[in-house]
Chain A
Amino acid sequence: MGSITLKQVTKSFGKVNVIKPIDLEIKDGEFIVFVGPSGCGKSTLLRMIAGLEDTTSGTIEIDGQDATDTPPAKRGLAMVFQSYALYPHMTVRNNIAFPLKQAKLSPEEIDKKIANAAKILNLDTYLDRKPGQLSGGQRQRVAIGRAIVRQPSAFLFDEPLSNLDASLRVNMRLEISELHKSLATTMVYVTHDQVEAMTMADRIAVFNAGIIEQVGTPLELYNKPVNQFVAGFIGSPKMNFMSVKPVENDPTVTIGVRPEHLVITKDSGKWHGTVGVIEHLGSETFLHVHIDNGETLTVRADGNCDIQYGDKVYLNASPDKVLHFDAKGLTLSLAAKDTLMSA
């Protein structure tokens, strides 16, 4: 079991409300990712679930039990920190054994669990080394090992991959996803990297300034963002936004098109512009096109695209791929927009 329910949870530091009332239901076995820009409150909320931060108001339930005031050790959760937070004076073996010793397990049981964790995480050969003698990826594996031996009801990850280099990050991302599939335990994962969120999550909660803007599956957020913030945050490169002239009966003030939904041609199209910087990534090409109204749009094109810097081009997008936002930044559904237009 590992369901977590947040009911009207808030957190204030003095007069600053870092978490405004939040309701969230995390199902047993789910991999949920909290994503958002720096300072949006995602890590604070994770620490509140862990019990490392007090809750100003509201309740946190773990497996149906109110755990709002329960100390961290008694919540049955395990946490993996950004800085790994390994005990530098202990060997890998003792780092992993520490929570088991605290739980007063017998030495035989401890040895068995360490051997099992070391096998899962490929740590067998490092058990007698100190954390200082390990690479970043190995350290993170030890931190995960220390978490899994406790068999917690849920894992909490606080930006665990941000200290690793890019290639290692991709590997560890896969390892953590594998681990989730094999353990089938609830995982709450905090990151500011939307690629991590999209690739790992069952569901994503997008945070902004202490509130959750939207919760949904990665594809729901990608295809049906509720507002301009979510639309801009999910997707890489980020969505292009253009302001539009107000039209009677149409509340649209901004439209958004994803770079992969823009089609570039030299003949004709909706927007005309000049090609600026071109980024060749091999499999694909990103073109930054300065359109005539002064805005710059990013276009994702084929890797073998033959367009050059300074070329005059036209851009097009299928109408069903264009999102419309009102003055408050909320997404207008096409159906609702049509109704308004025909009224």
Chain B
Amino acid sequence: MNLLVSSILQQLFDQNIIYAGIGITIYLTFLSTIAAYLFGLPLGIVLIVTGKDGLHPIPWLNKTLGFIVNAFRSFPFIILLVAFLPVSKFLIGTRDGNGAMIIILIIAATPYVARMVESSLKEVDRGVVEAARSMGASNLQIVWKVYLPEAMPSLIVGAVISTITVLGYSAMAGEIGGDGLGAIAITYGHQRYKDDVIWVCVAFMAVIVEIIQEGGMLVARKLDHRIRQNSKKSKEKKSIYKENIS
């Protein structure tokens, strides 16, 4: 028996459980994040458009949505997880497993994504929006042709941060009978006192985070035309993105 690697860890590798865990973690994370954007992106847009300085201020709607978003965001994830299981039961007929986890992750991530989108869109220069209005653009055209394209690099940075947050949440899938690296770390590592299993799971998650982070930032940088390419400033530009990571 190997002294450094526990037999359980060895088994997990041999039976491909670790690799399956990686696959499920990625699947849970991306599916939930994409679905959260389906709801969170329009919600973030509505928050901007109906805001005080927005294209079409509707104070009551803005305040109500803002309140709901904040209320959801104030749930610690583990509490939200158990509290919304009935919703999962109602929607997909089950309150455990990966399916339920995806429903809960979407519920948790949507308000988060909405705020991310809102803050990205807020960065768009109001003067540019004003210019578009002066050209006779409709509100829909301004959202579609000004807000979203102008904020694209920032939206991508936001998506990276959101994805990584969801990845962290997905580690709790084990709590409701779901799978993934987090579940493996808890059931095989924590509950059987095998620290090496935990560390291997963490290491794989760290690699996934790093890939999402670096890949996302690369895309954001490529898409951003605000700062002169191939100049001294491109170094400064990199550092701007680095700061955004945390």
Q: Do A and B bind each other?
A: no
- B interface vs A, CB < 8 Å? none
- A interface vs B, CB < 8 Å? none
